[in-house]
């Protein structure tokens, strides 16, 4: 079972927007909750990677979120391997 603390730890370690050095610990709270929910609904790494990509793209836009789908795929693999 995947717990939100595991997802939070993975996302915070990744810090895709490089915000955590000067932002509150809950900066990605919305995104983490959405990713955690989706991780419970799928076992597909590709589907979770797409959700991670879409979540951060929708939250921060192209000007701030520069990560690739391939990077999101690695994060999805980490989450689903928990």
User: What is the tally of structural domains in the chain?
Assistant: 1
Q: Is residue 53 part of a domain?
A: yes
Give the position of tokens 């836009």.
61
Q: Is residue 42 part of a domain?
A: yes
pTM comes to 0.89
Q: What's the chain's average pLDDT?
A: 92
**Does pLDDT of 4 surpass 80?**
no
Q: What is the pLDDT of residues 12-52, one digit of tens each?
A: 999 999 988 888 888 999 999 999 999 999 879 999 999 99
Q: Is residue 60 part of a domain?
A: yes
Reported confidence tier of residue 80, pLDDT bands at 50, 70, 90? very high
Q: Is residue 23 part of a domain?
A: no
Give the count of alpha carbons within 13 A of 26, CB side only. 3
Q: Is residue 57 part of a domain?
A: yes
What token pair was written down for 31?
């995104």
Contact (CB, 8 A) for 33 and 7: no
Q: What is the pLDDT of residue 23?
A: 86
Q: CA 7 → CA 15, 54, 62, 63, distances in Å?
A: 12, 16, 23, 25
Contact (CB, 8 A) for 26 and 46: no
Q: Is residue 22 part of a domain?
A: no
CA 19 to chain centre: 14
């Amino acid at each position: 079972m995947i717990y939100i603390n595991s997802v939070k730890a993975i996302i915070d370690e990744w810090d895709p927007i490089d915000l955590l050095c000067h932002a509150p610990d809950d900066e990605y709270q919305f995104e983490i909750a959405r990713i955690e929910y989706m991780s419970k609904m799928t076992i597909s790494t590709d589907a979770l990677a797409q959700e991670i990509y879409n979540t951060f793209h929708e939250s921060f836009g192209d000007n701030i979120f520069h990560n690739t789908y391939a990077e999101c795929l690695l994060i999805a693999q980490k989450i689903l391997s928990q």
